[in-house]
A and B are shown apart, each in its own frame.
Chain A
Amino acid sequence: MNKLFLTGNEAAVLGAIDAGAKIMFGYPITPATEILQGWISKAEKNETLRYLQTEDEIAAGFGVVGAVLAGTKSFTASAGPGHILLQDPLAMAENLRIPFVGIMMQRGGPSTGTVNFSQQEVNLAAFGGNGDGLRIVYSAGSVAEMYEFTVKAFDVAWKYRFPTILLGDGYLGKAAMTVELDKLLAPVSSYPILKELKESTNLRNCYSSEADLSEVLSKNIKDWQKVAPKIAETEKFRLSDANEVIFAHGLVASACKDAILALRKQGRKIGLLRAKTLNPLKGSDFRLALSSVKRAFVIESSLNQFSRIVKYETAGIKTPIFEISKPAEGFTSEEIVTKITEGVWTK
């Protein structure tokens, strides 16, 4: 384990390589462009790695689909408006259970917004496209997690065959930070989905009747429900004796950790439950935490996209949940401390 000075985008490239990815398709878009460029510079020194800069994100996403069908680990990276376009191939991947991996570095939206930062692509990642959201979504809170969750994304995608998205954000992508990486080895093997056997594989995503599609959906949903408990992950930070809890994810959750240490110094017994996976969410941890405290805060850089998921998973528990949202703007830990200490939280 060595100490490195890496940006989140650089860490993602290392993660993809260690995960066994062989082809990247991409279209430049801030703040994800460095992932494409970083991959390309690695590919120039390693002829087992290939890439294609496509004409748009749609072509990039379907390029990933094609390569994955051929049995090669492949991925793309994008953000904001590109993430919107990727819903087209993601929907196909969702229907056909294609191990699609995408790294989305969230930026301000809607529309072209900013190139900088947000947590506004949760809906897109988890529930975008025209399906019911059978996509695995990780949210990275550190440069180390940009590496670790990238490897994880490939593993779960190829093991369980659900499209998998790693959500980062512009700050995390572009911040160079000192980090120690646990090198992750023995990635899950890939295999061709168009099997190239004597008996042909014929895949369709269009069905003639409600019943035909329903049969496919039922199977996919059943599989999802079976693997969800194996995938859903959280981190508990200073939670065991807490009487207040912050629910957060990604880089915002990391800032929350500093805020919690400061608030603890002030005598507040507050902890953090961080969602590492947004979809599936580890609902049991959220329900337990919410039942054990007198109030909860959801802090996010979107208008309640994460909060909505949390509230769905904890419906029925009477503990009040207070939403602190700043769409498309980051939170410093000081700001979090101020908002919590100066807010009026009695109902």
Chain B
Amino acid sequence: MSIKILLAGEGGQGIQTIAKSLSKSAVTAGFECSYIPSFGVEQRGTPSIAFLIIGRKEIRYPRFEKADYVIVLQKRAIKAIKSFVDEKTKIIFDSSTISAKALPETTAGLFGIPATKIAYEKMIPKVFNVLVLGKLTDVFNIDYDLAWSGVVASLGKKFQANKTIEEKNREAFDFGRHFVFEVANFTKPAYVPSTKQITTIGHHKKAEIIPARCKGCGICIAKCPVGALKYSDELGVYATPIPEVDLEKCIACGNCFRFCPDAAIKVEKTD
């Protein structure tokens, strides 16, 4: 019997790192394993999907029709996983970004973990995927040391470069591993992209920011000569933080507008 696991999220969320870590742990533990990402040409902006099969018998084909477990970490990825869900599929999801109502129907259970919320509020956003990974190692009964070795095998280089990174990831991993799934009364999906244009007026200036286009790249912040821009709590199209303008500091030089790759920000003088 092999377990068929499908992981899906936004490109850049670290889905493949989760899959790779699990696969390395499984292989070290002596299982037959197969892992393949599903990918289009885009590096970012389209769903990142991983097919993972773990079992005792030789695995001949790396993809499958229906998953035993689906792990979905971004609302935009739901469309991509729908066809792999049947009534036996257990769905694990990030309840802080996805509403349970948006998920496909299954009788095997919905399991929520508000990973984005926890990462943002208690840790740092970048460890979000390792938090989920921690919980998954518990779900699949992988011995702790074996599981962590999988993480190190995948992220080792980054850990070597910076000890703090390793500590933060470990913290997230441990937290996830001990987390108890929400099976009802799910966390409200609050970490969702804002949809409306944000207009701020003051100090003879008008700033417009469009969350539906902002990818949080930070170029406007880097290019502002007076430091009038910083990341806010609002989320943009990939559910990453978008900037906000301090109109008092702003000199309406036009840099943010000029440099923004997504035409998502503009500040103008109003007189």
Chain A interfacial positions (CB closer than 8 Å to B): 206-209
Q: Residue-by-residue, is B25-62 near A (CB-CB < 8 Å gives 1, otherwise 0)?
A: 00000000000000011100010000000000000000
Closest 6 CB pairs of A and B: A208-B40, A209-B40, A208-B41, A208-B46, A206-B41, A208-B42
Interface of B is mostly: loop
Chain B residues contacting A208 (CB-CB under 8 Å) are 40-42, 46
CB-defined A-B contacts under 8 Å, sample of 6? A206-B41, A207-B40, A208-B40, A208-B41, A208-B42, A209-B40
Chain A residues contacting B40 (CB-CB under 8 Å) are 207-209
Least Cβ distance of A38 to chain B in Å?
43
Most buried by B among A206, A207, A209: A209
Complex Cα distance, B46 from A192, in Å, reads 33
Least Cβ distance of B172 to chain A in Å?
31
Chain A residues contacting B42 (CB-CB under 8 Å) are 208
Complex Cα distance, B154 from A265, in Å, reads 80
Complex Cα distance, B42 from A207, in Å, reads 10
Least Cβ distance of B83 to chain A in Å?
10
Chain B residues contacting A206 (CB-CB under 8 Å) are 41
Complex Cα distance, B46 from A209, in Å, reads 10
Of all chain B residues, which has the CB nearest A212?
B40
Complex Cα distance, B137 from A172, in Å, reads 71
Least Cβ distance of A210 to chain B in Å?
9
Complex Cα distance, B41 from A207, in Å, reads 8
Least Cβ distance of A127 to chain B in Å?
26
Least Cβ distance of B36 to chain A in Å?
13
Of all chain A residues, which has the CB nearest B42?
A208
Of all chain B residues, which has the CB nearest A210?
B38
Chain A residues contacting B46 (CB-CB under 8 Å) are 208
Of all chain A residues, which has the CB nearest B40?
A208
Complex Cα distance, B40 from A208, in Å, reads 4
Complex Cα distance, B40 from A209, in Å, reads 6
Complex Cα distance, B46 from A207, in Å, reads 13
Of all chain B residues, which has the CB nearest A209?
B40
Of all chain A residues, which has the CB nearest B80?
A209
Of all chain A residues, which has the CB nearest B46?
A208
Complex Cα distance, B11 from A208, in Å, reads 13
Chain B residues contacting A209 (CB-CB under 8 Å) are 40
Q: Which chain B residues in 92-139 approach chain A with CB under 8 Å?
A: none
Complex Cα distance, B39 from A208, in Å, reads 8
Complex Cα distance, B132 from A340, in Å, reads 75
Chain A residues contacting B41 (CB-CB under 8 Å) are 206, 208
Complex Cα distance, B41 from A241, in Å, reads 59
Least Cβ distance of A69 to chain B in Å?
22
Least Cβ distance of B46 to chain A in Å?
6
Complex Cα distance, B41 from A208, in Å, reads 6
Chain B residues contacting A207 (CB-CB under 8 Å) are 40
Complex Cα distance, B46 from A10, in Å, reads 53
Complex Cα distance, B134 from A22, in Å, reads 66
Complex Cα distance, B246 from A61, in Å, reads 56
Complex Cα distance, B25 from A200, in Å, reads 51
Complex Cα distance, B46 from A206, in Å, reads 15
Least Cβ distance of A340 to chain B in Å?
49
Of all chain B residues, which has the CB nearest A208?
B40
Complex Cα distance, B42 from A209, in Å, reads 11
Least Cβ distance of B15 to chain A in Å?
16
Least Cβ distance of B84 to chain A in Å?
14
Of all chain B residues, which has the CB nearest A207?
B40
Least Cβ distance of A347 to chain B in Å?
40
Complex Cα distance, B83 from A209, in Å, reads 14
Least Cβ distance of A118 to chain B in Å?
39
Complex Cα distance, B42 from A335, in Å, reads 59
Complex Cα distance, B40 from A207, in Å, reads 8
Least Cβ distance of B214 to chain A in Å?
22
Least Cβ distance of B19 to chain A in Å?
19
Least Cβ distance of A215 to chain B in Å?
14
Complex Cα distance, B40 from A206, in Å, reads 10
Complex Cα distance, B144 from A77, in Å, reads 67
Complex Cα distance, B127 from A309, in Å, reads 58
Of all chain A residues, which has the CB nearest B39?
A208
Least Cβ distance of A112 to chain B in Å?
36
Least Cβ distance of A255 to chain B in Å?
50
Complex Cα distance, B46 from A208, in Å, reads 9
Least Cβ distance of A211 to chain B in Å?
10
Complex Cα distance, B40 from A201, in Å, reads 23
Of all chain B residues, which has the CB nearest A206?
B41
Least Cβ distance of B201 to chain A in Å?
36
Least Cβ distance of A202 to chain B in Å?
16
Least Cβ distance of A334 to chain B in Å?
56
